Structure 1
Amino acid sequence: MRIAFVHYHLKTGGVTTVLRRQVEAIHGNCSTLVLTGDRAAAEWSCQVAEIPGLGYDQPGVLPPAADRVAERVLKALYEKWPSGCDVLHVHNPTLAKNRRFLKIIKRLQQAGVNLFLQIHDFAEDGRPDLYYSEEYPADCHYGVINARDAGILKRAGLDDTGLHHLPNAVEVIAGKTGWYPNSQILYPVRAIRRKNLGEAILLSMFLMGGQRLAVTQPPNSPADASSYRDWIEWVRQHHLPVDFAVGKNVDFSLLVGASESIVSTSISEGFGLAFLEPWTAGKLLWGRGLREIITDFEKNGIKLDFLYDRLDVPLAWIDGAAFSREWHDAVVSAAERYGHLLEADQANRAFARLTRDERIDFGLLKETFQRQVLARLTTDPSGKRELVSLNPWLSHPGIVGDSSAIIENNRRAVLQNYGTGQYSNRLLTIYDRIVHHPVCHRIDKRVLRESFFDLQRFSLLQWSPYGR
């Protein structure tokens, strides 16, 4: 088969990694081409065509018309294959990082191209700045990376025959030895806001035996970069055991090999590779679990019941009135931007549940309030004891009973269920279905919005703009 892939850019990141693994997974079985708005500097094993009109919108730059970009895509396809491609596999098309992207896709569909639209992240899930007001493409095949998203899209109108659950492939991390920095706990992440860096910094204050937290990569976007820079300065001022950007000039496998364990504090994930990859290197993963994501993994025999679901802090430790005001403002703002109708007193009832017993989950706080909690811990000797009483696992962070057996069990389960061989078979089966089974369905965006607008997990890290 002839498979063309589309992504906004090929810079280092989660979706680019998935795309590269897809190209490698079907190598030898399919002829491939990658179309992108920015090929960056990376080398690829297949032909890459750079079409700038497919890239992110740039401030002050007038983009080419959608029809013109679609024509360039078609030209590239027919130059590669005189009879065109069998499937055009498009990544994250429903995020409005390029405001003409849906029009480009629909124009290609009108030209007879078979579309496979794979969604990694939903604009409806706390990304109102990336939300399209127009309808998503209809009568084409869609792919998702977890069972939660599959269930949501089924409720929103997609048919089983045209909706494909494609969990990401997991590569084995060698975990090379021979490079030994300070005793470290690794947070392998590009530090965007939803990765909840403040919580990882809080955990560093409970590490023992001279351990240090090591954060691998800085973010790319301006809003995330501002938060990141402020965290670096805050850590420096308070002399906390945290190192930043440790992966910029060091091979990732060396970092993993030198780490005692891996931690995650993210409040939102699409697939959650971070919950799977550490086990392949023989490393323990600990930290915050995301129930809607890890349920898929646990059904496949991966033990993650020791991850915590929330980190409770006393509401009295923050400016409660300011938090209430900002949280309610963010709820109303998000509802307006999505065209979502709030029921009378709905936000008040939800906030009362979130703050019951005069506690709040640290992951729901934006950086301003997280720093108020951390400041309490640095100035009040009893603060740590109080936090341990609310979250007993903080007395032994990164320590799990029978860890050797858990690591071995999870390593085997990950390789058995998420290996590259299984992934290749799934991908080829989906492509065959797309070619031979046209579909007639569409997404009800109202149902999609309501499915993600969950006030019980409404975090200001996702829904509120950054500000000190």
Structure 2
Amino acid sequence: MSPDGPRIAVVHYHARPGGVSRVIRQTMEVLSAEAELTVLLGEPPPEHDPLAARCTVIPELAYSAEDASAPQPGLADRLRAAAQDALGAAPDLWHIHNHSLGKSPALTRAVAELARRGERLLLQIHDFAEDGRPADYRRLSRALGVDALRRTLYPDAPHVHYALLNNRDRNLLAAAGLDPARLHLLPNPVRTPASSSGAEGASRGADDRPATVVYPVRAIRRKNIGEFLLWSLLRPERRFAITLAPRNPRARPVYEDWVRYAADRGLPLEFEAAGPGGEDFPALIERAAALATTSVAEGFGLAFLEPWLAGKPLTGRDLPEITADFKACGIDLSALYDRLAVPAEWIDSAELRRRIGQTLRATRESYGLPFREEHAGRVLEIARSEGPIDFGVLDEDLQRVVLDRLSEDPGARRELDIPDAFPAADVITHNRGIVQREYAPDRFAARLLELYRATAGSAAAAPDHAADPARLIDAFLAPKRFTLLRT
């Protein structure tokens, strides 16, 4: 290892805007004095990007088509040569992001080869192909073969370490067969939003009735947009705003259906409130009286941390598997709810079961797994275990059934128990202090540097085991995690 710090080769598909690229930039920023780093990407960053001067482009790392043919061998050699050229010597370890996501089977194969050679690897997983991304998983299966994929996707060896965003992911990988001793928590750093110092927002408390509730989100299906519309229907005295439309053209039809629905019913909800055609995003957050989330699935969960740094109350849906780590640090999320109960008789049980079965069958078969009717029965049993059905389990069509009922019969609104609490000023101040301490960039840097040293100092041994991705698929499709919006 270099006396000036470990030599690190950071690898990812691209530098496009997004959570992973943001983490890579922050890694380069906070560890530049502690380690020698270079970045290998599949496509060049924009000229103004700070990564541009410190990266090498390896085209095989770029996204592949779903029907991509088997990758040719040799990428591991090309990665090593590029890293050695940039660093002046072979890297002490590789920090590779989302190698198992399936965007480039060539990278997955190269990681398996690097592991076989004894190269020290820190594999940071932000997203799983096994979690609602069957197209990515099929790309891997077709390019590498099902048997080879199961043997190599998640290699287990003393010199291969994993960085996970939360304890849920750590526990899932341990249950799938990886050694827990090499599964490390590495939560993302969180910076104070540019919109606010927090002073103004921190003065707002539980007695303040926010006039505008902002959902800072790109409105894809798993963000559960119908539930935010439900709020706007039940709280017409307020204003509601969703910041961004989906990027993916395949997500546009569902989004546009919601836009039309809200317009037809005159709901107090603004779409695409930030960005082109809308307000400046920092200004929108600055004037927001509260921020919201109704998402049914998250990776790290920035939505539960950033509002406090902006001095804003957070309202909406809790995701206990994701927020458990935050609560363990002392963050108070007691104003959130983890289910929004709808009377069971409002939803046709047979139709709900049919939709669950249809979706589960399609999803399991898209992963090459068998489907049995009891899978759907178990999901429905859990969905109705408390009598009422969670609104977040429903798809858009069934959510509109609920919204239509509430529109046509205002008296029915008394049958819904939707929390209307907003955190008091002392809770905002309390949470802000914890986020600043526990998720600060310098805390991230210290954790990551510790992982670098532990990985670089590991003994090498040929991988003789791998986690089973089929067990991960089963875990993500478990009845307690199922919602029609996640697929």
TM tier, smaller? 0.7 to 0.9
Structure 1 distance, partners of 2:245, 2:372, is 39
Do the aligned partners of residues 156 and 356 (structure 1) sit closer, same or farther apart at CA in structure 2, a change above 3 Å counting? closer
In the TM superposition, what is the alpha-carbon distance from 1:377 to its structure 2 partner? 2.4
Distance 2:97 2:478 in 1: 25
The 3-state SS of whatever aligns with 1:382 is helix
Distance 2:327 2:73 in 1: 45
The Cα shift of 1:385 comes to 2.5
In the alignment, what sits opposite 1:334?
Answer: 363
TM-score, normalised by the number of residues in structure 1 = 0.88
Confirm or deny that 1:223 pairs with 2:250: yes
Q: 1:453 corresponds to which residue?
A: 477
Match of 2:448 in 1: 427
Is contact 1:66–1:101 with CA below 8 Å preserved after alignment? Answer: no
Please say if 1:103 is aligned against 2:124. Answer: no
Q: Counterpart of 2:254 in structure 1: which amino acid?
A: S
Cα 1:225–1:109, aligned 2, differ >3 Å: closer, same or farther? farther
Change in 2 beyond 3 A, CA 1:66/1:172: farther
Letter in 1 for 2:486: Q
The normalised TM-score by structure 2 is 0.84
1:415 aligns with 2:436: yes
Q: 2:41 aligns with which of 20, 36, 39?
A: 36
Q: Which of 8, 11, 18 is the equivalent residue of 2:16? A: 11
Contact 2:95 2:124 in 1 (8 A): yes
2:62 aligns with 55
Contact kept, 8 Å, 1:7 with 1:37, in 2: the verdict is: yes
Q: 1:247-326 to 2 correspondence within 5 Å?
A: 247-249=274-276, 250-326=279-355
Residues 402-447 of structure 1: CA distance to partner in whole angstroms, max 9, x if unpaired? x101001101111121111111110000001111113655313344
Q: Is the 8 A contact 2:36 2:87 kept in 1?
A: no
Q: Which amino acid in 2 is paired with 1:38?
A: E
Question: What is the deviation of 1:14?
Answer: 2.0
The residue number in structure 2 matching 1:126 is: 132
CA contact (8 A) 1:364 1:457 kept: no
Aligned match of 1:466: none
CA distance in 1, matches of 2:336, 2:33: 40
> Aligned with 2:172: secondary structure?
helix
C-alpha distance in 2, partners of 1:87/1:247? Answer: 40
* Residue 299 of structure 1: how far off its partner (Å): 0.9
**Structure 1 range deviating more: 297-306 or 226-235:** 226-235
Q: Distance between the aligned counterparts of 1:213 and 1:335, measured in 2?
A: 36
C-alpha deviation, 1:183, in angstroms? 4.6
Which aligned pairs between 1:81-160 and structure 2 lie closer than 5 A?
Answer: 81-110=87-116, 113-131=119-137, 132=140, 133=146, 134-135=149-150, 136-138=153-155, 139=157, 140-160=160-180
Aligned residue for 2:214? 186
Letter in 1 for 2:55: V
For 2:69 and 2:134, the matched residues in 1 are separated by 22
Q: Is the alpha carbon distance of 1:159 and 1:456 closer, same or farther for their aligned partners in structure 2, counting shifts above 3 Å? A: closer
For 1:9 and 1:319, the matched residues in 2 are separated by: 45
The count of aligned residue pairs is 452
Is the contact between residue 186 and residue 263 of structure 1 (CA under 8 Å) also seen in structure 2? yes
1:196-243 Cα shifts (integer Å, max 9, x gaps)? 11111211223354x322222222223323322222222222222222
Judge conservation of contact 1:11–1:39 (CA < 8 Å) in 2. no
Task: Please state whether the residue corresponding to 2:485 is helix, strand or coil.
Answer: helix
Asked if structure 2 preserves the Cα contact closer than 8 Å seen for 1:53 and 1:63, the reply is: no
Change (3 A) 1:453 1:423: same
Q: CA deviation at 1:24?
A: 1.8
Whether the 8 Å CA contact 2:66–2:135 is kept in 1: the answer is no
CA distance in structure 2 between the aligned counterparts of 1:27 and 1:410, rounded to whole angstroms: 30
Maintained 8 Å contact 2:317/2:337? yes
Change (3 A) 1:13 1:405: same
CA distance in 2, matches of 1:272, 1:97: 22
Q: Distance in 2 between matches of 1:104 and 1:244?
A: 43
Cα offset, 1:70, TM superposition: 4.0
Q: What is the Cα-based RMSD across aligned positions, in Å?
A: 2.8
Q: Given that residues 127 and 462 in structure 1 are in contact (C-alpha distance below 8 angstroms), is that contact kept between their aligned partners in structure 2? A: no
Structure 2 letter corresponding to 1:49? T
Deviations 1:129-150 (A, max 9, x none): 3224412141221111101211
What percent of counterpart residues are identical?
37
